[in-house]
Amino acid sequence: MTPTLGCRPAWARDAVFYQIFPDRFARSERVAKPSNVRTWSSPPTPQGYHGGDLWGIIEHLDHLVDLGINAVYLTPIFQSACNHRYHTHDYYQVDPMLGGNEALRSLITAAHARRIRIVLDGVFNHASRGFFQFHDILENGPDSAWLDWFHIHAWPLVPYDGGRPANYTSWVNNRALPKFNTDNPAVREYLMQVGEYWIREYDIDGWRLDVPVDIRTPGFWEEFRSRTRALKPDLYLVGEIWREAADWLRGDRFDATMNYEFAAAAIAFAGGDRVSKALVSNRSYRPFPGTDAAGYAQRIEQLQSAYGWETTLVQFNLLASHDAPRVVSIARGDKATLRLATLLQMTYPGAPCIYYGDEIALRGAKRYDRPHRDPDARWPFPWHDTSSWDRAMLGYFRELIALRHACPALRSGAFHQLHAKGQQYVCLRRDDSDTLLVAVNAAESPAELRVPVSPHLVDGQPLAAVFGSETHATVAGQHVQLPVPARSGAIWRAIRQ
């Protein structure tokens, strides 16, 4: 595949994202907290607050810089009555518990000074029971001035009693989330202006857009892209679509999707039969059953064929998120699965995203025999207990990210799959000045891989180990021998002669 660049933001090719769930990342003394906030180290619950805030993120930006992060995706930050803030009360007000609008402005200023971009989460399909216009309907019934902002079917509205009909449309029948009537021009204009406001007034760098497929109003997302891009031509737009979604990435709506299809393939290969089907059975992606290298390579080929190179270069490639179990949990506690999947992620074209805490192997679900529960992937970051950090994992992430930044070929170079047999996989990344081989051995025993490298490399050409190995290699007979220990991976760089 030959690298090209079109209407997608060029900076996304070079981005390494870090996803932050604000209530659980860091808590600052600058923001006064209500008395019933949970202690920081206590187990997360579906509705409890731990009191993380945006000032806390500012105070720990150096951790992100040290890790090699240059882009942050924040889950929703607008005023809300839930810890994840997908139930928006006010689209123009950052939640006071997070520090308010001043904290966001300070965060963006501090992040931009460190060359870190900020992407916000936009929830425009539905609001909340506390959203002013919907609350007005609850208070005034048929006399409300805002009836046509939502889908009202009968009276009275029943927003809390699950034993009676709600009488209004809500997202996935969750009556806490009344669905906007985006066919109403006034609603549509309101949401467009929200999208524009945070770009114009706060200089955000992108939007991650929640459940976009559920907004079926023709032209909605095309207009959103046109209007927001008019304000910031390199704005990054990511749609939360779990399936293969090439039809959404034709240049008229989004630049990328949350690439759960890549995550599923990488985890299925890296984890193999360790993957807990029960844990992910209630999610919208399928990192099961475990697959071999050939199965992984085939899925990668399908994804690249579906999206094309230009889109592949800026896809949002995650392995975990607030909506999915952590990789170590999916693999029943096996940390090697996280290391291998991360090696695949960081050497694949697109923008990799680390879910907060994965770099220290932050705990997730401890029971693997039942469906995932969201709080299990939302533990607070243990700043107070650095002894709990997996320092080896942190070093692994740092070294791998640093190599990605140092090697343009790993970000935007051509991509070729050279070897996919059994549990061993090798790909090549190449640009005009650099060639790298990435080898992964997902098996329980060491492997000596004989990899065909013609026409990319020539006989006699040496390769220097640059990650995960100290053994160098030389091309002979149009092949190269790569020794890879069990459950590990390595990267070699071709030496030009």
Integer Cα distance of 315 and 337 in angstroms:
22
Helices (H), strands (E): how many in the chain? 15, 18
Helix, strand, coil fractions of the chain, as percent rounded to 5: 35, 20, 45
- Return the closest-CA partner of residue 130 out of 195, 165, 175, 188: 175
Residue 5 is predicted with a pLDDT of 37
Q: Check if 201 is active-site.
A: no
Beta bridge partners of 491: 438, 467
pLDDT along the chain (497 residues), means of 10: 60 99 98 95 96 99 99 99 98 99 99 99 99 98 98 98 98 98 99 99 99 98 98 98 95 97 98 96 93 98 96 98 98 98 99 99 93 96 98 99 99 98 99 98 98 97 98 98 98 93
N-to-C CA span, the chain: 25
Residue 436 is predicted with a pLDDT of 99
With a CB cutoff of 8 Å and minimum separation 6, the contacts of 174 are none
Integer Cα distance of 220 and 131 in angstroms:
21
Peptide bond into 455 cis (omega under 30): yes
Tokens of 328: 């170590």
Cβ(24)–Cβ(356) under 8 Å? yes
Residue 438 is predicted with a pLDDT of 99
3-state SS of 62-115?
A: HHHHHHCCCEEEECCCEEECCCCCCCEEEEEEECHHHCHHHHHHHHHHHHHHCC
Cβ(298)–Cβ(280) under 8 Å? no
Helix ranges restricted to H, 185-289? 185-202, 220-231, 260-271, 277-280
Amino acid at 416: H
Which listed residue (23, 95, 121, 210) is catalytic? 210
Cβ(359)–Cβ(63) under 8 Å? no
Cβ(269)–Cβ(276) under 8 Å? no
Determine the Cα angle at 21 with ends 19 and 25, to 5°: 100
Q: Check if 148 is active-site.
A: no
Kindly list the structural domains of the chain, giving each domain's residue range(s) and its CATH number in brackets, ordered by start. 10-125+182-406 (3.20.20.80), 414-494 (2.60.40.1180)
Integer Cα distance of 225 and 235 in angstroms:
9
Cβ(215)–Cβ(125) under 8 Å? yes
Helix ranges restricted to H, 281-352? 293-307, 309-312, 327-330, 335-346
Cα dihedral: 4, 8, 11, 16 (round 10): -100
Which listed residue (23, 95, 205, 240) is catalytic? 240
Q: What are phi and psi of 416, to 5 degrees?
A: -135, 135
